[in-house]
Structure 1
Amino acid sequence: MCGIIACVGADSTVPTLLNGLQNLEYRGYDSAGVAVENGSGLSVYKRAGSVSDVRDELSQMTDDGDVGIGHTRWSTHGPPTDVNAHPHTDEDDEVAVVHNGVIDNYQSLRAELEDRGVEFTSDTDTEVVPHLFSEHLEHCPDAETAFRRTVEALDGSYAIAAVVDGEEAVYAARNGTPLVVGVDDDSYYLASDVPAFLEYTQDVVFLEDEDVAVVRPGDVATLSVNGEPIDREVEHVDWDPQETGKGAYEHFMLKEIHTQPTALTQTLEGRLDVDEETVDLEGFPPGTFEGYDDVQFVACGTSYHAALYGSKLLDDVGIDSTAYRANEYDTSSSPASEDSLVVAVTQSGETADTLTAMRHAADAGATTAAVTNVVGSTAARNADHTLFIRAGPEIGVAATKTFTSQVVSLTLLSRRLAEDFPDAEPREDFDELAAALRQLPEDVETVLDGSEAARLADRYVNDEAFFFIGRNLGFPVAMEGALKFKEITYQHAEGFTSGRLKHGPLAMVTPSTPLFALVTGRHNEKTLTNAKEAKSRGAPIVLVTADPEEHDDLADEALRIPETHPALEGLLANVQLQLLSYHAADMLGRSIDKPRNLAKSVTVE
């Protein structure tokens, strides 16, 4: 969603802020702005539109300073206008504030402020913060105390960064929305996500809920809202700064599709011993998962499809498991208990719905585990156990390499769970699966080198709708394939389990609705039967399979995948569908890395 960047002590504050804002564009936004404390007042520049629009205005700016904040806004309260863009200031331009999240009690706070004569200029919930801060500055002994008093008055989710005229400091707080401090030798950074400042430093301090931070040149003080010091350790994020650039690729999404072999190698490294047929997951020694009756996955979007894949892998080894959409979990008729292991799958570790589901599970007495990509994320800190997928930073809004790394991580976890759950039956063919996992990065490279997805995209891109079907492990891949297609092409696409096609969706099948059938893994009979039914209604049929020649009479086209273990064929099929979506979107001229209305990290429910 919205993005925050701040810096203290940087040589050139404005260029640093703008660079950070550009690094955060992947989160999705509709306006941008910066505020700088320049020694003679606060300079604020903001407008609806892109970061480049703000950069054009700032090119005329002569004032710079050592302290500044910046923001990319995703509209919630009020439309995307210049006035509603962040930063927001008080009436005297003494305080400037940027904010992610939602302040639940802003209406009552605004009414109280207006009763005291304060005039508001925007429609946002954020504007109450600088006005409150300004009022407290009049009565508190220092800006730190005034900021803490301001934060005390707020209800809801927020990450806030503020600057004050005459103060060489950034004041920050978080509650339910991520905020991280970057620590360098001579300067400090503060952002909603590490990639904002990754090129400057990889040493970070992750703020936790209800933390207040005061960032000054040469110092970061972390406090409670009551002013009590809190010790937050500096951690090192092992991400290559070059991974946050596009390199020679036209889009981040294409780069991330093509770097999946590297991401998978990182996911598997040190965890899989093919010769010994063992899985070693750091922090999960034998016996970690003894005594549980069932596994419940909670996730959203692409991560939900990975969770669904993981649930089916557990079904294969006799473990009772269910994948829930996190935003429906607390309404489920099958709540967690102290005998449940609840596994949250979340790329960012900050997905609001998933964090809420984790809290719901913990309140019910369940043990929680997080499968995530981000060290220090809220999910990683709150979970009883954490498994990092180690995919590296993903900038494109449409998840690609993180999906494959999530599924491979869950495949390894399924082995660990099968060894601990009392009634589970570990795979008899694990030797074959382990060998296939070791081969998987090379198999993905084979798909990337020989894919016909661009040609097929060109053939079908102007059709009316796109259907994807699969069965068993092919079903979550069909769902994911359809999601990717609609996310970045804006074309109608749906994914179904094969048998569902004739229970309604078949009515929509025409010669302008190509059907992509995943003939992967086992249990393909119904998939083939349903593809034949669609073909008889005129639908073009594209098979995604390791053996297209076997179905020459059915397929109009095919996307070939290498032969591998049935549990992994779906992942190779997924890479083909990622490429299909990418090339179709590129031909349609879509904004591939920043699709309309979508954000990378959904931090507000």
Structure 2
Amino acid sequence: MACRTTAGAADYLVAGLTMLEYRGYDSAGLAVSAADGSTAVFRTTQRVNALHDLAKAWGGPSLGGIGIGHTRWATHGGVRVANAHPHQDCLRRLSVVHNGIIDNAPHLRAELQQLGHVFQSDVDSEVICHLVEDALATTGDLLEAVNRTVQQLTGSWAIVVLDGETRRMVAAAHRSPLLVAHSDRGMFLASDVSAIADWVDEFHILDDGDVVEVSDELVWLRDGVAVDAPDPIASPTQASGRRLDAGDHMASEIDEQPEAAARVLNDIGSLIANGALWRGLGLPRFDRLRVVACGTSLNAGQVIGAGLSRLGGLAHSVVVASEAAGSVIEPGTLTLAISQSGETADVLRAIDESPIGTPVLALVNNAHSTLARKVGSVLVCPAGPEVGVAATKTFVCQVLMGAGLVISALVASGRMSQTTARALVDDLAQTPERLAAAADSARLALPGVIEDVRNANGFIFLGRGAAVPYAAEGALKLKELTYRWAEAYPAGELKHGPLALVEDGTPVVVVDDADPRLVGNIAEVSARGGRILTIGQPGSRIEVPLSKHSPCGPLEAVVPLQLLALNLAADLGFDVDKPRNLAKSVTVD
């Protein structure tokens, strides 16, 4: 993030970085102009709010209104102050913040060291400072120096360079999000508009290859040629700034799931059974679906794809985005790219590498994200801001939006009658009430469950059929929040290897949607001393009526699975909103 204001840059930067902390919180830092022409640098391996105390304790010249800041998710180099951004050149004149990965950093570092540059960190980003330093010595112009520098880089970057001597500021972007905005408060740059939404009414997005000088006016270069700034985009409402006052974000976001589900259904409910939702996307008829996603979005894609096959008899495949390279796309295939942030680097790369002409539909929670701008057709989930790093309500919204898409597409193509579709939509309409009931049931049962599993080192999650993706999502949530190993399997796979993991007391969480085959699988676990924790039908440890005929499968099961992970992590003393080693928006691949 960066700002050019009349005063108080540190305050703006800390406030904005707090909103961006979900992108990484291994370390954070600021570089702020000072009254004597120097640049004050503050860095910490604590959370962003520690920067406020560091700036407040500053005993040097008064701090000005120009500065840059960063909150880091470590890719290169360990978590230590020397590796925190901003980084500086040898003369301490230039300060740089960088999102992304510089793939050719080792080669560039070696060349720069041979030229006499001294590095202070282990991170790839520091090469940018020294490259700009060399180019500036030759050109005498910061804009041209940054433009020359990015031509030497390979990888991904959103860069802001601050020249402490001239107070000039230049930004550049390639395969990493960056936007710039102007208001009566000043100029602002950020990787996500939520960081600056309280201060601006509109913003411009940098495209790949753009280099922009941020002063009273924007000087915009595209591929080295001066162009007009792109058309501005209206900033979202300012509610996101107040969202941080909620305290325990993940718990609040789990509670918001019935409301979020109702919002999705209110938006698209009338467009499903008549096929209007699908027809409005302007996409060709398809005969098979290819889902590309990562993490929780991958599990949502599993639900959506299985629903299509179950309801319409159409083939589907689910591709882990980071492994999508080289996958064969058959004629008549629609690619559904799912990303909560719309900035997931693995998904973006997979779309870039898809054959030209392949129809792609994006399912995102951010209408202005890179993924949404990259493809021709977009469905936006109205989940609202999600601050907790572990996805909850965005998963529910993705599944519901995907189910509506599937039904609408089947109706529009004549593969499903409107009568059948209306019955399915009526079932979906019960989702908010079912989610709320599932939360109530889980909260009653969980204290005893937590007591039983507190000391367990690992968990197995099982399901059958439509319940399998939910078992996978439950295992993922437990890993993310409790740092215990957790593996999910189709229950029928137990006897093909995973049963070897079961010993006396091993917790085995079963999403029990009354599939008759589960009885034998549960018996196999019990015979080996496993601790059975069923979620579902009457008699389960956590009784939650699970949908039998919903196009989403047993969606209600996700709530007790989320709450199990949340409550166990809290009991163990872990930060449920910011689990270790993770970031919500994964912008590197």
Per the shorter chain, which TM-score range? over 0.9
Q: Which residue of 2 aligns with 1:205?
A: 204
Distance 1:427 1:169, change over 3 A: farther
Q: Identity of paired residues, percent?
A: 36
1:23 aligns with 2:19: yes
User: How far is 1:308 from its partner?
Assistant: 0.6
1:411 aligns with 2:403: yes
- TM-score of the two chains, using structure 1 as the length reference: 0.90
Contact 1:94 1:164 in 2 (8 A): yes
Distance 1:246 1:564, change over 3 A: farther
Separation in structure 1 between the aligned mates of residue 82 and residue 152 of structure 2, nearest angstrom = 24
Contact 1:244 1:395 in 2 (8 A): no
SS of the equivalent of 2:28 reads strand
Distance 1:247 1:328, change over 3 A: same
User: How far is 1:68 from its partner?
Assistant: 0.5
SS of the equivalent of 2:79 reads coil
1:448 to 439, 449, 461: 439
Alignment of 1:264-275 (within 5 A): 264-273=261-270
Separation in structure 1 between the aligned mates of residue 235 and residue 433 of structure 2, nearest angstrom = 27
Q: Which residue of 2 aligns with 1:236?
A: 234
User: How far is 1:130 from its partner?
Assistant: 1.6
1:320 aligns with 2:315: yes
The letter of the residue matching 2:483 is: Y
Distance 1:194 1:427, change over 3 A: same
Separation in structure 1 between the aligned mates of residue 259 and residue 188 of structure 2, nearest angstrom = 29
User: How far is 1:102 from its partner?
Assistant: 1.3
Distance 1:269 1:38, change over 3 A: farther
The letter of the residue matching 1:63 is: S
Which stretch has the larger CA shift, 573-582 or 61-70? 61-70
1:567 to 551, 566, 572: 551
Q: Which residue of 1 aligns with 2:274?
A: 278
Q: Which residue of 1 aligns with 2:101?
A: 102
The letter of the residue matching 2:249 is: F
The letter of the residue matching 1:539 is: G
The letter of the residue matching 1:448 is: A
1:60 aligns with 2:57: yes
Contact 1:271 1:280 in 2 (8 A): no
Contact 1:37 1:166 in 2 (8 A): no
The letter of the residue matching 2:302 is: L
Separation in structure 1 between the aligned mates of residue 436 and residue 427 of structure 2, nearest angstrom = 14
Distance 1:587 1:438, change over 3 A: same
User: How far is 1:167 from its partner?
Assistant: 3.6
Separation in structure 1 between the aligned mates of residue 524 and residue 377 of structure 2, nearest angstrom = 46
Separation in structure 2 between the aligned mates of residue 184 and residue 331 of structure 1, nearest angstrom = 45
Which stretch has the larger CA shift, 162-171 or 127-136? 162-171
1:400 aligns with 2:392: yes
2:488 to 487, 495, 502: 495
Which stretch has the larger CA shift, 179-188 or 474-483? 179-188
User: How far is 1:351 from its partner?
Assistant: 1.0
Distance 1:239 1:396, change over 3 A: farther
Distance 1:464 1:243, change over 3 A: same
C-alpha offsets along residues 307-338 of structure 1, whole Å, 9 cap, x if unaligned?
01011011021222111111111143xx1245
Q: Which residue of 1 aligns with 2:580?
A: 596
Separation in structure 1 between the aligned mates of residue 345 and residue 78 of structure 2, nearest angstrom = 22
The letter of the residue matching 1:485 is: L
Separation in structure 1 between the aligned mates of residue 352 and residue 330 of structure 2, nearest angstrom = 13
Which stretch has the larger CA shift, 496-505 or 109-118? 109-118
C-alpha offsets along residues 406-429 of structure 1, whole Å, 9 cap, x if unaligned?
00110011023213447x445863
Contact 2:289 2:316 in 1 (8 A): yes
Distance 1:64 1:564, change over 3 A: farther
Which stretch has the larger CA shift, 230-239 or 489-498? 230-239
User: How far is 1:206 from its partner?
Assistant: 2.2
1:214 aligns with 2:213: yes
The letter of the residue matching 1:438 is: A
User: How far is 1:118 from its partner?
Assistant: 2.2
Q: Which residue of 1 aligns with 2:180?
A: 181
SS of the equivalent of 2:82 reads coil
Separation in structure 1 between the aligned mates of residue 238 and residue 452 of structure 2, nearest angstrom = 38
Distance 1:374 1:271, change over 3 A: same
User: How far is 1:225 from its partner?
Assistant: 3.5
SS of the equivalent of 2:150 reads helix
2:369 to 370, 377, 384: 377
The letter of the residue matching 1:304 is: L
Contact 1:319 1:418 in 2 (8 A): no
Contact 1:303 1:403 in 2 (8 A): yes
Which stretch has the larger CA shift, 171-180 or 527-536? 527-536
Q: Which residue of 2 aligns with 1:507?
A: 500
Contact 1:272 1:279 in 2 (8 A): no
Task: Say how many residue pairs are matched.
Answer: 583
Distance 1:160 1:566, change over 3 A: same
Contact 1:415 1:426 in 2 (8 A): no
Separation in structure 1 between the aligned mates of residue 381 and residue 87 of structure 2, nearest angstrom = 38
Distance 1:303 1:12, change over 3 A: same
The letter of the residue matching 1:593 is: D
C-alpha offsets along residues 187-213 of structure 1, whole Å, 9 cap, x if unaligned?
222112223223333533222211222
1:341 aligns with 2:326: no
Separation in structure 2 between the aligned mates of residue 242 and residue 8 of structure 1, nearest angstrom = 22
Which stretch has the larger CA shift, 51-60 or 205-214? 51-60
Contact 1:470 1:498 in 2 (8 A): yes
Distance 1:491 1:109, change over 3 A: closer
Q: Which residue of 1 aligns with 2:475?
A: 482
Q: Which residue of 2 aligns with 1:9?
A: 5
Alignment of 1:71-150 (within 5 A): 71-140=70-139, 142-150=141-149
Separation in structure 1 between the aligned mates of residue 400 and residue 182 of structure 2, nearest angstrom = 33
Distance 1:358 1:244, change over 3 A: farther
Separation in structure 1 between the aligned mates of residue 144 and residue 463 of structure 2, nearest angstrom = 58
Q: Which residue of 1 aligns with 2:303?
A: 309
Distance 1:220 1:375, change over 3 A: farther
SS of the equivalent of 2:530 reads coil
